[in-house]
Amino acid sequence: MDISGASAIVTGGASGIGAASARLLAQRGAKVVVADLQADKGEALAKEIGGAFCKVDVTNTDDIMNAVEMAKSMGPLRVLVNSAGIGWAQRTVGKDGKYESAANLDAFKKVIAINLIGSFDCIRLAATAMSTTEPLAHGERGAIVNIASVAAFDGQIGQASYSASKGGVVGMTLPVARDLAAIGVRVNTVAPGLIDTPIYGDGENSEAFKANLQKGVLFPQRLGGPEELASMVVECVTNSYMNAETIRVDGGIRMPPK
């Protein structure tokens, strides 16, 4: 699919995998809406790539609609990348046998609300806009790429909420792709492994932590770069025969229990 002159929305686009995806989409000729809560980073990136910034909380439907309308004003909306997400680690039960020490249910709900429900809200609204665009060859109108995680398959101790949210993203990929086939919109999911993003922080302790993490990567034994994920995201967008698939990009890692 040719995305030159089309508009694209990247949620969580101000940093990490989202930012790398936004840059690469812009290099391919798309006008990118960087949809994020981080206004300073988002505005700077939008200026850098000739796009626009829209402050978006993916749990707020009005915010998502604003991003969709902004994208439509820049060109036919043909691309959505769902990269916004959070992680939360907590064990299911505590060590003292008290109900109060069991996992915080509100924290669990928040992760699901952002990573899973927020992704679906973005899909349903962006796809609605895509359905009104002029079709390209073979009736194609657009492509959606969700960012999941290998935690969808190899969830570690304490990752119940994160794994459930990302497993939900993987689980809805096929049925949503089947739904959107009627309007000529493809849906794929990319499941990153250990990627060197700001989530790990900065400084000596952060570097030591990452060095320990990468020992489990099969080959190459290092953390992945955001640009390596962005490459797969853009392939899923531009390759018109890629549909309804979840692709691990993880250096062959299979996560241990902890």
Tell me the catalytic residues: 162
Q: How many CB atoms lie within 10 A of CB 211?
A: 11
The count of other CB atoms within 10 Å of the CB of residue 75 is: 17
Q: In what order do the strands lie in the sheet with 7-11?
A: 52-55, 31-36, 7-11, 77-82, 142-147, 185-192, 246-249
The dihedral built from the CA positions of residue 225, 149, 116 and 106, taken in this order, carries a sign that is negative
- 109 and 173 Cβ atoms separated by less than 8 Å: no
SS3 per-residue string spanning 203-214: CHHHHHHHHHHH
User: Which of helix, strand or coil describes residue 61?
Assistant: helix
Cα–Cα distance for residue pair 110/40, rounded to 1 Å:
24
Q: Residue 9, exposed/middle/buried by CB under 10 A (0-12, 13-18, 19+)? A: buried
